[in-house]
Amino acid sequence: MTADPAGAVIGVDFDGTLSPIVPDPADARVDPRAAAALARLGALVGAVVVVTGRPAATAVAYGEVAGGPGLADVPGLVVLGQYGLERWQDGQVTSPPPPPGVVRVRAELPALIESLGLPITRDGDSGVGIEDKGRALAVHTRRAADPEGALRLLREPLAELADETGLAVEPGRLVIEIRPTGMDKGRALGAFLDERGARSVLFAGDDLGDLAAFEAVRASGLPGVTVCSASAEVTELAGRADVVVEGPAGVAELLSALASAIEHRAR
């Protein structure tokens, strides 16, 4: 990667990788050090791509940094949002319309959650949170009185609702997402590598949804590195990664070190 930076693709997840996990997903913001490192890398490598379950424009907005480079300042950045269903590039978002099943899930989720005896959080109080991503909906239990218990209680009913509406379930760190089928982070990353004619790849993630991207790195046949942004909540990723770092701060440090190594070799 340092020997041929022009052929390298740097791929990263957003939540838990570029941004610390927080109780309210709307409060998530990129680590300024990670944004600065990506801005350096964007000028050095073939491409930088963020692959996230969030809407692409939301990831860019939450990637703003006061007084420093944000995600929108990364040269040539592409954001593949909603697991690859959306694409942000040069300030423009392209995406297909949401499937009809999402409309039904949006309408039925509150009553389903409350039927299980779980309060829905409003105005930052305790309870189960519903995050509407437009083309997907995520149910968060981090603010519930018993986060793990609420997650267990929700798994089967949400899986049944997803099945009835032709959607897929994506589990995560105290969250269950119901989203369209046919796309995941692995497919999104693999297609991007082909599009850019990549000759090497690094991908960093923190959650179960990033395992597909790890597999895409290996399936590509390219020289590749998988990086786990480690947490106590998800341990499976660490066992499948080439490199394990401590959360978004560790990712920022790794990306900065990679940028310095490429710059040093170019001198």
Can you tell me the mean pLDDT for 105-130?
A: 92
pLDDT at 89: 98
Question: Would you state the structure tokens that stand for residue 160, as one six-digit string?
Answer: 């049944």
CA angle in degrees (0–180, nearest 5) for 42-47-49: 95
pLDDT at 171: 93
More confident residue, 222 or 98: 222
Q: Is the pLDDT of residue 123 over 80?
A: no
pLDDT at 83: 94
Cα first-last separation, the chain: 16
pLDDT at 150: 97
CA angle in degrees (0–180, nearest 5) for 120-123-128: 25
Burial of 111 from C-beta contacts in 10 A (0-12 / 13-18 / 19+): exposed
Owner of token pair 């990831």: 59
Q: Is the pLDDT of residue 267 over 80?
A: no
Can you tell me the mean pLDDT for 196-208?
A: 97
Distance of CA 263 to the CA centre of its chain: 27
The DSSP annotation for 60-93 comes to HHTT--TTS--GGGSTT-EEEEGGGTEEEETTEE
Can you tell me the distance from the alpha carbon of 53 to that of 14, in angstroms, rounded to the nearest whole number?
Answer: 8
Judge whether 208 and 191 are in contact, CB under 8 Å.
no
Q: Is the pLDDT of residue 51 over 90?
A: yes
pLDDT at 28: 96
What's the pTM value of the predicted model, to 2 decimals? 0.86
Contacts of 194 by beta carbon, 8 Å cutoff, 6+ apart: none
Judge whether 21 and 173 are in contact, CB under 8 Å.
yes
Q: Is the pLDDT of residue 234 over 90?
A: no
**Residue 62 pLDDT class (50, 70, 90 cuts):** very high
pLDDT, tens digit, 9 for 90 and up, residues 11-46: 999 999 999 999 999 999 999 999 999 999 999 999
